[in-house]
């Protein structure tokens, strides 16, 4: 039942991490739609436990209390309004769904939840779903603690508690039905797909049964018969018995090796170099391109949670980060996801961030602050908005323009200077060496003058250029010169930047 219908081959998803629904609606209309972003990944929309110690961490949203749709991002009405406005603006919404578990076993009892629903964690009672003790896996889990203790044992990874989170029994029809009904309520509202959290911890056949109960996309916005686009979070860096490939028949799967390896190459660790990227993809042990959801960083590994390790690049290292994101968006592998973050008071102590829990910019009552947009298009108030950096925005356009074209005209200097094209639609040159890149390269592009979309871009009138001008000759060759000291040591041109 899995087809990618409307979404396969589409290009860039942006994760507006912890944004409010109202702000996302505006962003779709004012920015994402006009700039060709394909979709937004939203933070989990379901009701979650309110954590006070530490104060309102971002990760409380990964502890559901019910499938009611009120959260720190807004009300159900605001969610509905956002979905319809984004769809109208041509931007799909993918919801992050947390279905492996409910809240922590130690979350207590009461109504400290985002819609005020009653729960009792020690008795495993969630009457607003409803779930009760028989809907959890306690009888199946055999570890002493009840938690996952060893990732080498596939049974405990699926049937025990992930970091103490109450583990749902998806073998039971009631649980399957409740989860599917939650996802269907979102589909009926116009959501186009899902990021499914913690899939490693659920049996593929159970997920298959749940996905099989899902409705088609809402025909108010999507063609009759369209299926949801599903990408599953499975962290597979090798070395564990559970493989990403067990899930790839059900939907796309996150490829965590991608950001870890790309980060290492751009950092030039262990003599990794850009020239090695000539073969980046399946031959590096990555899953097949048409199954992969790729990203430079995500909401976990940008703060030391999840996986990927210290090679992961984030907005904290903007120069290398932009290079990595530009490479990803120019390269044909996978469906790409961009991270849009908020800044927090990072406190690294022996490599570990003491403040890795900190939630989004918020008021003293815990409610999330709006995202202010500055006159120059950047975001204010600790919202980083990587997706609004012009280099990243313009590379999203590059990816759209180049879509469907093969990687072509690869060039490298054997070290950290590379270039490649996408058929006759686009060409990128990156200099991550310590010396100047100065070369005449075959671009594969039609002759003409192009505007570099990294140092600037074409003016609205279409004839001016605020960046470097690149002249492609009749023979398809162009001369590129990039100093190692440049703030953005890369150049990109595409059909849409022709002057």
Stretch that binds ligand ARE, among 110-118, 232-240, 278-286, 444-452 (CB under 6 A): 232-240
Q: Output the smallest distance, CB 352 to ligand ARE, in A.
A: 13
Q: What torsion, rounded to 10 degrees, do the Cα atoms 212, 214, 220, 226 define?
A: -30
Q: Choose from ligand ARE, Ca ion, none: what does 167 bind? Cβ within 5-8 Å by kind.
A: Ca ion
Of the candidates 304, 366, 110, the one whose C-alpha atom is nearest the C-alpha of residue 314 is 304
Q: How many residues does the chain have?
A: 499
Q: Choose from Ca ion, ligand ARE, none: what does 165 bind? Cβ within 5-8 Å by kind.
A: ligand ARE
d(CA 177, CA 214): 10
Stretch that binds Ca ion, among 119-127, 195-203, 333-341, 348-356 (CB under 5 A): 195-203
253 near ligand ARE (CB under 6 A):
no
User: For Ca ion, which residue of 23, 167, 197, 246 counts as binding (CB under 5 A)?
Assistant: 167
Burial class from Cβ neighbours inside 10 Å (0-12, 13-18, 19+) for residue 185 reads middle
Question: Closest CB to Ca ion belongs to which residue?
Answer: 201
Classify the phi-psi angles of 294: left when phi > 0, otherwise alpha if psi is within -120 to 50, otherwise beta: beta
Can you list the positions of beta strands (E) in 84-176?
92-97, 101-104, 109-110, 119-120, 165-167
316 near ligand ARE (CB under 6 A):
no
Q: Output the smallest distance, CB 334 to Ca ion, in A.
A: 26
94 near ligand ARE (CB under 6 A):
no
Q: Output the smallest distance, CB 198 to Ca ion, in A.
A: 7
CA distances from 431 to 222, 259, 491, 494 (A): 42, 19, 9, 18
203 near ligand ARE (CB under 6 A):
no
Contact predicate 26/16, CB 8 Å: no
Q: Output the smallest distance, CB 98 to ligand ARE, in A.
A: 5
**Which pairing describes strands 92-97 and 193-196: parallel, antiparallel, or unpaired?**
parallel
Rounded to 5 degrees, what angle do the CA atoms 295, 300, 302 make? Answer: 70
Neighbours of 309 (CB within 10 A): 13
Q: Output the smallest distance, CB 153 to Ca ion, in A.
A: 13
How many residues contact ligand ARE, by CB under 6 A? 21
User: For Ca ion, which residue of 72, 85, 200, 201 counts as binding (CB under 5 A)?
Assistant: 201
Stretch that binds ligand ARE, among 57-65, 244-252, 407-415, 435-443 (CB under 6 A): 57-65
200 near Ca ion (CB under 5 A):
no
Of the candidates 134, 154, 344, the one whose C-alpha atom is nearest the C-alpha of residue 243 is 154
421 near ligand ARE (CB under 6 A):
no
Stretch that binds ligand ARE, among 56-64, 112-120, 345-353, 399-407 (CB under 6 A): 56-64
Q: Output the smallest distance, CB 43 to Ca ion, in A.
A: 21
Q: Output the smallest distance, CB 398 to ligand ARE, in A.
A: 28
Dihedral sign for Cα atoms in the order 31, 422, 289, 491: negative
Contact predicate 390/325, CB 8 Å: no
**What separation, in Å, do the N-terminal and C-terminal C-alpha atoms of the chain show?**
45
d(CA 401, CA 398): 5
Stretch that binds ligand ARE, among 59-67, 86-94, 109-117, 462-470 (CB under 6 A): 59-67
370 near ligand ARE (CB under 6 A):
no
Interaction residues for ligand ARE, span 109-168 (CB under 6 A): 151, 162-165
Which residues are identified as catalytic?
A: 197, 233
Contact predicate 457/466, CB 8 Å: yes
305 near ligand ARE (CB under 6 A):
yes
Stretch that binds ligand ARE, among 54-62, 212-220, 246-254, 455-463 (CB under 6 A): 54-62
Q: Choose from ligand ARE, Ca ion, none: what does 401 bind? Cβ within 5-8 Å by kind.
A: none
173-189 and 204-212 helices, crossing angle to 10°: 50
User: For ligand ARE, which residue of 25, 79, 98, 470 counts as binding (CB under 6 A)?
Assistant: 98
Instruction: Name which of 168 and 492 has its Cβ closer to Ca ion.
Output: 168
Token pair 């309004």: residue: 81
Stretch that binds Ca ion, among 39-47, 166-174, 409-417, 470-478 (CB under 5 A): 166-174
Interaction residues for ligand ARE, span 430-489 (CB under 6 A): none
Burial class from Cβ neighbours inside 10 Å (0-12, 13-18, 19+) for residue 9 reads exposed
User: For ligand ARE, which residue of 11, 12, 43, 104 counts as binding (CB under 6 A)?
Assistant: 104
> Omega of the bond prior to 54 within 30 degrees of 0, cis?
yes
Contact predicate 417/431, CB 8 Å: yes
197 near Ca ion (CB under 5 A):
no
Q: Output the smallest distance, CB 97 to ligand ARE, in A.
A: 10
Rounded to 5 degrees, what angle do the CA atoms 208, 210, 212 make? Answer: 70
Q: Output the smallest distance, CB 186 to Ca ion, in A.
A: 21
User: For ligand ARE, which residue of 240, 276, 353, 486 counts as binding (CB under 6 A)?
Assistant: 240
Residues contributing to the site for ligand ARE (CB under 6 A): 59-60, 62-63, 98, 104, 151, 162-165, 197-198, 200, 233, 235, 240, 300, 305-307
> What residues line the site for Ca ion (CB under 5 A)?
100, 167, 201
């Amino acid at each position: 039942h899995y087809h990618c219908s409307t979404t396969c081959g589409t290009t860039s998803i942006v994760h507006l991490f912890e944004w409010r629904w109202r702000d996302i609606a505006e962003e779709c209309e004012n920015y994402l739609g006009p700039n060709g972003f394909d979709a937004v990944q939203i933070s989990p929309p379901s009701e979650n436990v309110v954590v006070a110690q530490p104060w309102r961490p971002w990760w409380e949203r990964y502890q559901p209390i019910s499938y009611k749709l009120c959260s720190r991002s807004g009300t159900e009405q605001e969610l509905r309004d956002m979905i319809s406005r984004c769809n109208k603006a041509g931007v799909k919404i993918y919801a992050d769904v947390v279905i492996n578990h409910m809240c922590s076993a130690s979350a207590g009892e009461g109504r400290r939840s985002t819609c005020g629903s009653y729960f009792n964690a020690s008795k495993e009672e969630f009457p607003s779903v409803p779930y009760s003790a028989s809907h959890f896996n306690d009888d199946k889990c055999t570890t002493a603690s009840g938690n996952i203790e060893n990732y080498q044992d596939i049974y405990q990874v699926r049937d025990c508690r992930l970091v103490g989170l109450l583990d749902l029994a998806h073998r039971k029809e009631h649980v399957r039905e409740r989860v599917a009904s939650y996802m269907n309520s979102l589909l009926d509202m116009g959501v186009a797909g899902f990021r499914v959290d913690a899939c490693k911890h659920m049996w593929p056949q159970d997920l298959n049964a749940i996905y099989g109960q899902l409705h088609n996309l809402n025909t108010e916005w999507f063609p009759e018969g369209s299926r949801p686009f599903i990408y599953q979070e499975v962290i597979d860096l090798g070395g564990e018995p559970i493989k990403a490939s067990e899930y790839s028949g059900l939907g796309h799967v996150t490829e965590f090796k991608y950001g870890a390896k790309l980060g290492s190459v751009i950092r030039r660790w262990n003599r990794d170099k850009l020239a090695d990227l000539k073969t980046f993809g399946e031959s590096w042990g990555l899953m097949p391109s048409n199954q992969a959801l790729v990203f430079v960083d995500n909401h976990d590994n940008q703060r030391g949670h999840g996986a990927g390790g210290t090679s992961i690049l984030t907005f904290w290292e903007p120069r290398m980060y932009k290079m990595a994101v530009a490479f990803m968006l120019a390269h044909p592998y996978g469906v790409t996801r961009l991270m849009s973050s908020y800044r927090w008071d990072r406190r690294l102590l022996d490599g570990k961030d003491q403040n890795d829990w900190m939630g989004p910019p918020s008021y003293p009552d815990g409610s999330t602050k709006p995202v202010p947009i500055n006159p120059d298009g950047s975001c204010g108030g600790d919202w980083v908005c990587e997706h609004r950096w012009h280099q990243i925005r313009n590379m999203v356009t590059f990816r759209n323009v180049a879509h469907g074209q093969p990687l072509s005209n690869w060039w490298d200097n054997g070290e950290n200077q590379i270039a490649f094209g996408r058929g006759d639609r686009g060409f990128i040159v990156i200099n991550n060496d310590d010396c100047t890149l100065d070369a005449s390269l075959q671009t594969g592009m039609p002759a003409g003058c192009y505007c570099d979309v990294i140092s600037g871009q074409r003016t609205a009138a279409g004839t001016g250029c605020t960046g470097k001008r690149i002249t492609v000759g009749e023979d398809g060759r162009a001369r590129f010169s990039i100093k190692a000291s440049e703030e953005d040591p890369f150049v990109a041109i595409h059909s849409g930047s022709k002057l």
